Structure 1
Amino acid sequence: LYLAIKDLVAMAPFSSVSDVKILGTLSAVFLVVIALEFVDMFIEYIKTNTVVVDLVLAIVLTAISRELLLYIATPNEPLYYGVILVTGILALAVAYWLVNRTGKTK
């Protein structure tokens, strides 16, 4: 949370805001979301003593989406890396949909 707020404050002179700064701030916000999802998954594990598959898939999907944001912000990365990230996101999205569709989350 500190990193996300620090990045937002660093963008104070909005005339000099660039795409890279915005993507960096979004990346920090994604880190906060990932941490909160880990806490939620841990609490659910303590309550039920089972791993909830849809929460795990949501965490991994958020983490790979964050990595895609970082890839977009870094123009030096090769194209195949972006293709791998997008393919991974699509595969995880289908898996998440299938898990929630069947109702078997545990």
Structure 2
Amino acid sequence: MTNQTEVIVYGAEVLCPSCVNLPSSKEQYDWLQAAISRKFGEEGIQYTYVDIFNPPEEEPYHSFAKQVVDEDLIYPVVFVDDELVGEGDPRLKRVYKALESRGFEPTA
């Protein structure tokens, strides 16, 4: 298994105009974190939430948050490390597959 993998969720408190009837980005971030932890445990996975309207200055977060806004991407946008695994309504299957490809195995 890799030493550390990062799950990054880019989103905003306000709902995406294309995401009517979906939870907010922050709610989806919390849901993803809980689902991943249940399946793979908590060791080796770091979670980062980036508010696209108030991103940190740190790269690559700042640049991609600007890209989400400038290109009107459907958020939340979810990455596992540098791999885009979801946009708008992320699918656990794709997220799990990306984690498994990095050596993570389901617990019990």
- Higher Rg: 1
> Which structure has more RCO (C-alpha within 8 Å, separation ≥ 6)?
2
TM-score using structure 1 length: 0.33
Which structure's residues are more often helix, by fraction? 1
TM-score using structure 2 length: 0.33
Which structure's residues are more often strand, by fraction? 2
